[in-house]
């Protein structure tokens, strides 16, 4: 997201997925303490399991913590679901929506994700909408069409750079150790940027577009040097301060 002088700061977000119990609060604290060393040039956050958000925010009120999903309704008969208002009440200030593991595992549609993003915004949360193609879609030459369609249909019409970011995550790169060619990342992020600017005007220039999928300390500098890569959404390498720090260091250097 832009700072006051309009320069894009890198935005590095860890996604703990379904990992973490109270015994991991000390590691979350270590990550927060380490991240503070980079705060002059890098915005960082952790998206935690909903069960940990309240305790983590009590322990670390200055660190940005988020959820990994929310329901589109404020309350009601939705057993097992968590609303955006509940995340905010627990202390979260942002949430992911539309992660591919939910699109596939929970059959979430673009319309669902748009509704969740809108609900999160109403609850006062910043939102990261995840998009990405499968390997079959890339091999069929459909990656750009698929991802741009997801962005078009998932992003609400009132989106603005002060609350909305996109995370491009090729499904086949998540947790596999594989990453796309630089040129493919540049092409996709450039195309997403063009679409955001066409739809939202100059504000589309300031919406952060994160890359996700096997980002780690070895490849982060290279990935963040690619035009329109404004940061990262990191899974496995966000689980410890030791693995997360080199990514923040790379982001700080590229800022
Ligand atoms: O949300 C994070 C992404 O799914 C990336 O996960 P990964 O860094 O473990 O590949």
Q: Could you read off the pLDDT of 110-169 as tens digits, one per residue?
A: 999 999 999 999 999 999 999 999 999 999 999 999 999 999 999 999 999 999 999 999
Ligand 1 geometric centre to CA of 17 (Å): 9
Question: 121 catalytic, yes or no?
Answer: no
What's 86's DSSP letter?
H
Question: 99 catalytic, yes or no?
Answer: yes
Q: Which of 17, 66, 12, 75 is nearest to 42 (CA)?
A: 12
Average pLDDT over residues 4-12: 70
Q: Could you read off the pLDDT of 195-230 as tens digits, one per residue?
A: 999 999 999 999 999 999 999 999 999 999 999 999
- Best of 12, 14, 169 to mutate for ligand 1, by most ligand atoms within 8 A of CB? 169
Q: Could you read off the pLDDT of 56-104 as tens digits, one per residue?
A: 999 999 999 999 999 999 999 999 999 999 999 999 999 999 999 999 9
All structural domains of the chain with their residue ranges = 10-207+232-240
Confidence of residue 3 (pLDDT cuts 50, 70, 90): very low
Taking CA atoms, 92 is separated from 21, 31, 57, 64, 201, in Å, by 17, 16, 8, 7, 29
Ligand 1 touching residue 31 (CB < 6 A): no
pLDDT over 80 (residue 255) = no
- Best of 102, 130, 174, 179 to mutate for ligand 1, by most ligand atoms within 8 A of CB? 174
Length of the chain: 255
**Which parts of 140-229 are beta strand (E)?**
164-168, 209-212
**Set 101, 133, 137, 169: catalytic member:** 169
CATH number of the 10-207+232-240 domain:
3.20.20.70
Ligand 1 geometric centre to CA of 28 (Å): 17
User: What is the predicted pLDDT for the residue at 5?
Assistant: 38
Contact 119, 74 (CB under 8 A): yes
Give the closest residue (by CA) to ligand 1 atom 6: 235
**Predicted TM-score (pTM) above 0.90:** yes
Q: Which of 17, 1, 34 is nearest to 248 (CA)?
A: 34
Q: Could you read off the pLDDT of 13-51 as tens digits, one per residue?
A: 999 999 999 999 999 999 999 999 999 999 999 999 999
* Ligand 1 atom with minimal separation from the 175 CA: 10
Ligand 1 geometric centre to CA of 233 (Å): 6
Give the closest residue (by CA) to ligand 1 atom 8: 235
Residues 6+ apart with CB under 8 A from 220: 232, 246, 247, 250, 251
pLDDT over 90 (residue 4) = no
Confidence of residue 8 (pLDDT cuts 50, 70, 90): confident
CA distance linking residue 233 with residue 73, whole number of Å: 26
ipTM of the complex: 0.99
Q: Could you read off the pLDDT of 175-203 as tens digits, one per residue?
A: 999 999 999 999 999 999 999 999 999 99
User: What is the predicted pLDDT for the residue at 71?
Assistant: 98
């Amino acid at each position: 997201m832009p700072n006051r002088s309009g320069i894009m700061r890198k935005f590095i977000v860890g996604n703990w997925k379904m990992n973490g119990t109270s015994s991991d609060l000390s590691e979350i604290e270590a990550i927060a303490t380490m991240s503070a060393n980079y705060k002059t040039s890098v915005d960082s956050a952790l998206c935690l399991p909903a069960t940990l958000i309240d305790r983590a925010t009590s322990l670390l009120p200055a660190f940005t913590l988020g959820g990994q999903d929310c329901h589109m309704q404020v309350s009601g008969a939705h057993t097992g679901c968590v609303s955006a208002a509940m995340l905010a009440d627990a202390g979260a200030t942002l949430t992911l929506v539309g992660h591919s593991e939910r699109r596939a595992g929970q059959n979430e549609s673009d319309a669902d994700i748009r509704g969740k993003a809108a609900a999160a915004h109403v609850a006062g949360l910043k939102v990261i909408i995840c998009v990405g193609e499968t390997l079959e879609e890339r091999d069929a030459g459909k990656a750009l069409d698929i991802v741009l369609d997801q962005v078009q249909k998932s992003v609400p019409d009132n989106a603005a750079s002060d609350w909305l970011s996109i995370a491009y995550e090729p499904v086949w790169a998540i947790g596999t150790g594989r990453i796309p060619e630089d040129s493919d990342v540049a092409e996709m992020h450039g195309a997403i940027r063009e679409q955001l600017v066409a739809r939202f005007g100059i504000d589309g220039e300031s919406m952060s577009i994160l890359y996700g999928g096997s980002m780690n300390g070895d490849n982060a500098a290279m990935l963040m040097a690619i035009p329109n890569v404004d940061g990262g959404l990191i899974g496995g390498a966000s689980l410890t301060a030791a693995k997360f720090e080199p990514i923040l260091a790379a982001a700080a250097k590229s800022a």
